[in-house]
Structures are given as structure tokens and as C-alpha cells.
Amino acid sequence: MRTKNNLVAALFLTVTFAMNAQNMSCDGFGNFFVQSWEYAYNIAHPIGEQALTLIPVAGQDSDVTDAISDLSEDFHAFVFDENRQSWATVGAREIPVLKTITTQGGKLVRVGPVAGVRVFTTAPLLWDSVEIEIEKLKGGLETEIIICTFDLETGAKNNILPNYVFPNNKNLSSKKFTIRNTHGKSISVKLLGKETNFDVFKYSIKTQGFLNVNKQKNRVKKANIERLNTTGLGAGNKKKTRN
């Protein structure tokens, strides 16, 4: 019995440690992202109103994707430009996600005990999946890539495992990540230098969003039902007519 209790305790400590380590690795989020999703993704806001009425029609899927990309750009501007003072405490760099590949670059530097760290964060996402490609352009700094998602409705953080490490060498390479079920979430990308000696990691980050047509149809259908129920015209709120 004691052995069983010890095993349970050990498992509990292991799980607790793993969860704490995961939470510590997921940076770049703040309450404002939750607030911005609640504020903008509803029928009363121009961004939400358009996103929740875009119904994919056969032969017009590309038009809906174009519209979602435009709205994603608007959402990005709403979070990172129009409300910059509100999100400033988050401390993460912004990273856009559109229908076409967007690229940004930089250089991570590690000098002795001074940690080389960069954290990039997306605005709330209207896409159903996102591809992120990180390319090593120069340098030999061993660098760990930590990608996390933050569910803006439940608050759940999820470390997309396994983390990837660019090794300590001069070889140039790239790594692509595909994150699924991203609608209503924000993504953070952390670049963490792992050495104590001076070195650099010059990089580029490419992002691209993808829309699932069937899921978009279901979102619009659900929004229409909720809108009818709110106005009292839903199936459960129909007024009885006199014979």
C-alpha cells in the first residue's frame, strides 16, 4: 500500500513539475488578448460581424479566404496598433498571420549570463490552422524553439511539443511547424539561446494561415442561431399564432 501511495505521489509531482515547466515556457500572452477576442469577435463589432457572416459558397472559397485574411489584418492592427498601450505589458513582439506568407527576421545574441530571448505573439486568430517556418540564416548559437497556443475562450495554454533545437554549429537549416485548431487562439513563438558563450542566431520567421471551409460554415450557422435566439426569433422562441 505504501509503495502504491509513493508511486501516486511521485506521479503527481512529475505531472505537476511538467505542467509548471510547460506554463513557464509559454510566454507572450496577457488578459488583453482575451478581452480583445470577446470585444471584437461578435456580431456587434465590424470584425466579428463580417467574420460571422462569411458563408463559403461552391466556387467562391477563395473569396472567403481573402476576406478572412483582410479581417485578420484588421484584427492584428486592432490589437497591436490601435490598442498598443493596453498590450504593452505583454512584452512580446507581434507576428502577423495572413493568407500569403509573411516574413520577418532578426538576430538573437547570447553574451555570457545575459540570456538571448525573443518572443513573438499573434493576434487572436480567425484561421483554422497556421504554418510557421523558422530558418537559420547565420551563426552557431544553439537555439531552442518553443511554440505555444493560448485558448482565448478557456484560457488553456498548450506547449506544442516537442520543442525544436537548432544545434550549436554553422550549418544552415529550417524547421516548419503546423499548428491545427487555431481559431480563437493566439500563438507565441519563443527563441531561446542555450549557450553561455558569445554567439548569434540570425533567423527569419515565415507565417501563413489556412481556412477550413466546413468549419467556417458551422461557425456562421451557430452565429445565426444565436442571433435568432437573442432576438426572440429562434425555434424555441417562436410566438404562437392564433388559429
Q: Would you list the domain boundaries of the chain? A: 2-218
Nearest-angstrom CA–CA distance, 76 and 54: 19
Nearest-angstrom CA–CA distance, 206 and 204: 7
- pTM > 0.85: no
Asked if 23 and 29 count as a contact pair (C-beta separation under 8 A), the reply is no
Domain 2-218 has CATH 3.30.2350.10: no
Tens digit of pLDDT at every position of the chain (243 positions): 434 344 333 322 322 323 333 334 676 566 778 989 999 999 899 999 999 999 888 777 889 999 999 999 999 999 888 766 554 444 568 899 999 999 999 999 887 676 688 999 999 999 999 999 999 999 999 999 999 999 999 888 999 989 999 999 999 999 999 999 999 999 999 999 987 788 999 999 999 999 999 999 999 999 988 888 776 655 555 444 444
The burial class, CB within 10 Å (0-12 / 13-18 / 19+), for 24 is: exposed
Neighbours of 164 (CB within 10 A): 15
